[in-house]
Chains A and B, each alone.
Chain A
Amino acid sequence: MKLTVWTYEGPPHVGAMRVATGMKGLHYVLHAPQGDTYADLLFTMIERRDHRPPVTYTTFQARDLGSDTAGLFKKACQDAYDRFKPEAIIVGASCTAELIQDDPGGLAETMGLPVPVIPLELPSYQRKENFGADETFFQIVRHLAKPMEKTARVSCNIIGPTALGFRHRDDVQEITNLLYELGIEVNVTAPMGATPTDITKMGQAHFNVLLYPETGEQTARYCERTFDQPFTKVIPIGAGATHDFIAEVRALSGSTAELDTDRLRQSWWSRSVDSTYLTGKRVFIFGDGTHVLTAARIARDEMGFEVAGLGCYNREFARPVRALAKEFGVTPLITDDYLEVERAIEELQPEMILGTQMERHIGKRLGIPCAVISAPVHVQDFPARYSPQMGFEGANVIFDTWVHPLVMGLEEHLLHMFREDFEFNDAAGPSHHGGHAPQKQGAPAPVEATPEPATTGEVIWLDLAERELKKIPFFVRGKARRNTETYATEKGLREISLDTLYEAKAHFAR
């Protein structure tokens, strides 16, 4: 038993729903108690879908448990087929139905439905949402795709995008266009947008582009073995990664087509002098493995940040994330415990968080700006505008997204200079944000956003030093406090005086 306040991933059947809802012509019959239909709103509300997810729930109740839940399942399955006439059906159980052991797969098989019925085994008490999506997609491909003659022109499948994915909609469009420019046709994009009939044709492609290892890696490996289709290993998030991805695709396809890279503004934006204030900003990175791995590289190599810590919530990606942390010289945090992530951030006092919606909460509580880089998704992660993370446009979008929560370059200086200004003081926050408001004359001093106890561990802040610290603008105060304390500890000091503060400042100057 494990106490959970917020979860990063849903149960595995929600992963299966992401596959089914992304596809067309597929129906999911889910043996589940009343109430599990809540999952529909993830798609209709968060993603604003205009149709119900293609899922029929048996919605059994307590009174059914004593009688015939198996019969209920078969009726639901038959009704779903009659009403929706899908090309294929996937069947499975949610956590409660798993306990009553009705074996939906076996039941559906005996019904003689005239379409393929694919049973899913998704262990609810061991695995989570991403596994559910990955496994479901793999089972669909394993049941439906057959070896085929390759297309005459070089082509690939795009593998991994699902419903409710973080920016999958726009990533697919960006990468499809990129491949088109390289002269490569997309044979099938799946699961998102594919029908079961499309899946049967996946074997025609020459290679696969794996965009989301979390939800497509099993399938990519299966296709490599079964259809002799190599797959891309680079995830094209960031300018550098996109260039590497293009090189990888060229190697797999033999494409030599010229590419127009003028659209990539991020590199110049990052070099332009306004961006110098980004230099060495300490960031903490947390999310799903794939987005964290790519974000770390962007942070260091394309933004000039210092990566202060990183980690992921999906244990399946612990190995590469650990390796990356080693390369960056930081301790990896592999956990799905929200409170543990919060503790790590509190301790590291980064100047910015690159995280999920959950870290956005943490950032808000601790007064640290946060940009969202990864699922779990929120209605805000489905913007109306085109907003990919991948490819050249993705790199541009990421630059804007990460810079937005920060106080802008010149404003930083102004805040240093005019700290006491009534409408332009540091408690008002970045001036381009909604929270910014002039302070009333004579109003009490602003309450610290960050809880900052006067003593941390062994070291005591003397009054003068403490007051001086408060004069430092909020967006660097955390760093100043931390550096000073580190310095004091290194020097074996028990107290921090004004001098200690400035000695530490000189020590850490860059």
Chain B
Amino acid sequence: MTDQFTPPPSVGCRAAPVLKQRGQREVFCGLTGIIWLHRKMQDAFFLVVGSRTCAHLLQSAAGVMIFAEPRFGTAILEESDLAGLNDAHAELDREVETLLARRPDIRQLFLVGSCPSEVIKLDLSRAAERLTQQFAPKVRVLEYSGSGIETTFTQGEDACLASMVPVLPKTQERELLVVGALPDVVEDQMMALLDGLGVGPVRLLPARSLDVETGIGPNTVFALTQPFLADTHAALERRGATHIAAPFPFGEEGTTAWLAAIAAQFGVSDETFKAVTDAPRRRARAAIAQASEPLNGKSVFFFPDSQLEVPLARFLTRECAMTAVEVGMPYIHDSIHGPDLDLLPEGPQISEGQDVDLQLDRCREARPDLTVCGLGLANPLEAEGLSTKWAIELVFTPVHFYEQAGDLASLFARPLRRKGLLKHEGIAASDPTMREVAQ
């Protein structure tokens, strides 16, 4: 199977010097993860204990808002709650009681800590214990922090999954646990591939509902599908499970390497591996070749955002023939990101953390063909003539595994294709002020 691989670079980026700057960080907080987690776990409700800002963030990040009563909400702290903590606990109990009475479909309730709840040291773990006792066995109450002072963007999912690990039942079975929320269609494809390889039983975290048996123990081996699950990784190791380190399953190469690592762990023969993967690999390659044409030879600059930056840079440089200028990550964990950094050819500046103004200076200086950044920066950079790809779309769109590899390349190619299609300069004119700026 190695005959189809592009050989790994002689020098990867694992040992490259990392630029660490400290300043304003233009990132979401971990609460944002609720937007996709509440869709994934259909019997769960996420109750943020926070401020009006938290509620406003969730609403704004949900963007168009969802035409239904969402399975998340915010218990907004008011002046009176800040006075005494005992009151805050009683208030929280009351809100949870009302909520569970109105929504009998809820089986798992996550109390989600926020910046204000942490600063006033509101002990949500105590509240979760108390409420679990009160509502057992019907409802399980867990807590985690999605606060900006503790987490960025996708770390919210990490904190959420990590909070579930201690309550997973114990098992001695040799099982594969696949960790990370995936769109259902992608999850089904993954399960079919693993089934074809004869790997099993396969358990998922998060499972679609509480009733699915996901256990853990010393014979559990686990693979991550998302590169932002550091705390969950640590929590699983604490329960005795073993991590299968691998590049992440983005693109044909990433997917193959990820599956190969699991196959090796489960003693899958080369023939079986080839039989299962050859056809989807060929399809993925063909799809990427077609979709990535506008990307070939172009440069890309990553602002730190979703934590997917290193694996995606690996995909874009090795499978779409792009050059990476800078690859920024909110944070880097060698044990998780190492395999992808090994494959990323040396050259790009690897950076961790952010001083957004200085990073914008570097980006303007480099004038990359494509900039991957958050929603706050995208239109301003477009107005300066740069092409951008919003990072949040990468978290909301099915992009993992073979059948999505072409779609992943298309996501990046679309801004460049669009630029080629539009014949007139756009002058931003959303208010009279801006018209003057544009003139």
Which B residue sits closest to A60, measured CB to CB? B149
- Given A38-B28, A49-B430, A56-B24, answer yes or no on A5-B115 (Cβ-Cβ < 8 Å): no
Among A1-55, those with CB < 8 Å from B are: 1-7, 9-11, 13-14, 22-24, 33-42, 44-45, 47-52
Interface: A61 (CB within 8 A): yes
In the complex, residue of chain B having the shortest beta-carbon distance to the beta carbon of A96: B115
- Inter-subunit contact B115/A1 (CB<8 Å): no
Asked if B149 and A34 make an inter-chain contact with CB atoms under 8 angstroms apart, the answer reads yes
With a cutoff of 8 Å between Cβ atoms, the chain A residues found around residue B149 in the complex are: 33-34, 60-62, 64-65, 96
Contact indicator A1/B69 (Cβ below 8 Å): no
A contact residues around B116 at 8 Å (CB): 95-96, 99
Q: Does B218 contact A (CB under 8 A)?
A: no
Nearest CB in chain B to that of A51: its residue: B380
> Is B28 within 8 A of A357, CB to CB?
no
Q: Within the assembled complex, what's the spacing in Å between the Cα atoms of A52 and B88?
A: 37
A76 touches B (CB below 8 Å):
yes
Q: A40-B26, A163-B431 are in contact. Are A4 and B55 (CB under 8 A)?
A: yes
What are the interface flags for A51-77 relative to B under an 8 Å C-beta threshold, 1 for contact and 0 otherwise?
Answer: 110001111111011000000000010
Chain A facing B: main interface SS: mixed
- Rounded to whole Å, the gap between the CB of B390 and the closest CB of chain A is 9
Q: Does the CB pair A4–B376 fall under 8 Å?
A: no
Q: Are A38 and B61 in contact (CB under 8 A)?
A: yes
**Which residues of chain B have C-beta atoms less than 8 A from A49's C-beta?**
379-380, 428, 430, 434
Of all chain A residues, the one with the shortest Cβ separation from B54 is A95
Enumerate B23-77 residues with CB–CB distance to A below 8 Å. 23-32, 47, 49, 51-53, 55-57, 59-61, 63-65, 67-70, 73-77
Cβ-closest chain A residue relative to B102? A339
- Whether the pair B437, A50 counts as a contact (CB closer than 8 A) is yes
The 0/1 profile, CB within 8 Å of A marked 1, for residues 80-123 of chain B is 01100000100110110011000000000000000110111000
Which chain B positions have C-beta within 8 A of A99? 82, 116, 119-120
Whether A44 lies near B428 (C-beta < 8 A) is no
List residues of chain A with CB within 8 A of the CB of B377.
40, 44, 52
Residues of chain A from 352 to 390 with CB closer than 8 A to chain B in the complex: 357-358, 361, 364-365, 378-379, 382
User: B438 on the interface (CB 8 Å rule)?
Assistant: yes
Q: Is the interface of B mostly helix, strand, loop or mixed?
A: helix
Enumerate chain B residues within 8 angstroms of A123, measured Cβ to Cβ.
79
Return chain A residues, CB-CB under 8 Å to B10: none
Most-contacted residue by chain B among A24, A35, A64, A193 (CB, 10 A): A35
Q: Which residue of A lies closest to B379 (CB)?
A: A44
Which residues of the other chain, A, contact B148 by a CB distance below 8 angstroms? 33-36, 59, 61, 96
Can you report 8 A-B residue pairs in the complex whose CB atoms are below 8 A from each other? A3-B74, A7-B74, A41-B374, A47-B431, A50-B428, A99-B120, A125-B77, A189-B432
Contact at B52–A50, with CB atoms within 8 Å? no
On whether A22 and B152 interact (CB within 8 A), knowing A3-B75, A49-B379, A83-B357, the answer reads no
Q: Are A76 and B431 in contact (CB under 8 A)?
A: no
Q: Return B189 CB to nearest CB of chain A, in Å.
A: 31
Which residues from B are CB-within-8-Å of A58? 24
Partner of A36, one of B53, B64, B92: B53
Assess the B432–A169 pair: CB atoms within 8 A.
Answer: yes
A256 an interface residue at 8 Å Cβ cutoff? no
Does A395 lie at the interface of the complex (its beta carbon under 8 Å from any beta carbon of B)? Answer: no
Smallest CB separation, A425 vs chain B (Å): 23
Contact indicator B31/A4 (Cβ below 8 Å): no
Most buried by A among B24, B74, B152, B382: B24
Say yes or no: A35 contacts B428, CB within 8 Å.
no
A44 touches B431 (CB 8 A): no
Is A173 on the interface with B (CB-CB < 8 A)? yes
B289 at interface, CB cutoff 8 A: no
Which of B47, B52, B57, B383 is packed against the most chain A CB atoms within 10 Å?
Answer: B52
Q: Interface size class for chain B?
A: 35 or more
Complex CA–CA separation, A44 to B430 (angstroms): 10
Please name all residues of chain A whose beta carbon is closer than 8 Å to the beta carbon of B231 when the two chains form the complex.
Answer: none
**Least CB separation from A168: chain B residue:** B431
| Residues on the B chain within 8 Å of A4, using CB | 52, 55, 73-76
Minimum CB distance partner of B118 in chain A: A62
Decide yes or no whether B207 CB sits under 8 A from chain A.
Answer: no
A133: interface (CB < 8 Å): no
Q: Say yes or no: A125 contacts B78, CB within 8 Å.
A: yes
Chain A residues with CB under 8 A of B376 = 37-38, 40-41, 44, 52
Report Cα–Cα, A99/B63, bound state, in Å: 28
Q: Are B88 and A1 in touch, CB under 8 angstroms? A: yes
Across-interface contacts of A61 in B (CB, < 8 A):
148-150
Are A51 and B383 in contact, with the CB atoms below 8 A? Answer: yes
Chain B residue with minimal CB distance to A338? B69
B216 CB to nearest chain A CB (Å) = 28
Interface residues of B (CB under 8 A from A): 23-32, 47, 49, 51-53, 55-57, 59-61, 63-65, 67-70, 73-79, 81-82, 88, 91-92, 94-95, 98-99, 115-116, 118-120, 147-150, 152, 357, 374-380, 382-383, 428, 430-434, 437-438
A100 within 8 A of B: yes
Q: Looking across the interface, which residue of chain A has its beta carbon closest to that of B90?
A: A1
The residue among B81, B92, B120, B430 with the most chain A CB atoms within 10 A of its own CB is B430
A1 and B26: CB pair below 8 A? no
When distances are taken between beta carbons in the complex, the residues of chain A under 8 Å from B56 are 7, 10-11, 14, 39
Bound together, the chains give a CA A33 to CA B119 distance in angstroms of 11
**CB closest residue in chain A, given B382:** A50
Q: Which of B56, B70, B428 has the most CB of A within 10 A?
A: B56
A153, B67: Cα distance in complex, Å: 53
Residues on the B chain within 8 Å of A42, using CB:
60
A56 and chain B: residue at smallest CB distance: B24
Q: What is the CB-to-nearest-CB distance from B292 to chain A, in angstroms, rounded to a whole number?
A: 27
Q: A481: CB under 8 A from chain B?
A: no
Most buried by B among A9, A24, A42, A48: A48
Q: Are B380 and A65 in contact (CB under 8 A)?
A: no
In the bound complex, what is the Cα–Cα distance between A23 and B434 (angstroms)? 10
A-chain residues with CB within 8 Å of residue B31 when the two chains form the complex: 35
The 7 closest A-B pairs by CB, nearest first: A35-B29, A35-B148, A40-B376, A50-B428, A50-B383, A1-B91, A96-B115
B53 touching A124, Cβ below 8 Å: yes
A149 shortest CB reach to chain B, Å? 27
Q: Report yes or no: B78 in contact with A94, Cβ–Cβ below 8 A.
A: no
Give 1 or 0 for each of A190-202: 1 = CB within 8 Å of chain B CB.
0011000000000
Q: Which residue of A lies closest to B357 (CB)?
A: A83
- Bound-state CA distance A39–B61 (Å) is 10
A60 neighbours in B (Cβ, 8 Å): 149
Residue in B25, B49, B119, B431 whose beta carbon sits within 8 Å of that of A192 in the complex: B431
Task: Let me know if A79 is at the binding interface, CB within 8 A.
Answer: yes
A128 in contact (CB, < 8 A): yes
Q: How close is B311's CB to chain A, nearest CB, in angstroms?
A: 23
- In the complex with contacts A57-B24, A96-B119, A3-B98 CB distance below 8 A: yes
Report the Cα distance A361→B25, complex, angstroms. 34
Q: Considering residues B59, B68, B115, B119, which has the most beta carbons from chain A within 10 angstroms of its beta carbon?
A: B115
Q: Which of A364-423 contact B (CB under 8 A)?
A: 364-365, 378-379, 382
A382 to B428, CA, bound (A): 13
A168 to B428, CA, bound (A): 16
Since A6-B55, A7-B55, A37-B28 are in contact, a sample of 6 more A-B pairs with Cβ atoms closer than 8 Å, ordered by chain A residue number, is A4-B74, A4-B76, A11-B56, A42-B60, A44-B379, A124-B53
A95 touches B52 (CB 8 A): yes
Chain B nearest CB, measured from A55 CB (Å): 9
Q: A223–B29 Cα gap in the complex (Å)?
A: 40
From B49, B60, B75, B428, residue with most partner A Cβ within 10 Å = B60
Of chain A, the residue at the smallest CB distance from B354 is A59
| A496 contacts partner chain B, Cβ-Cβ < 8 Å | no
Complex: A124 Cα to B377 Cα, angstroms: 26
Measured in the bound complex, the distance between the Cα atoms of B47 and A22 in whole Å is 34
The reply to whether B51 and A95 contact each other, CB–CB distance below 8 Å, is: yes
From residue A167, how far is it (CB to closest CB) to chain B in Å? Answer: 11
Query: Smallest CB–CB gap between B210 and chain A, Å?
Result: 22
Nearest-Cβ distance from residue A405 to partner chain B, whole angstroms: 15
Contacts of A24 in B (CB 8 A): 433
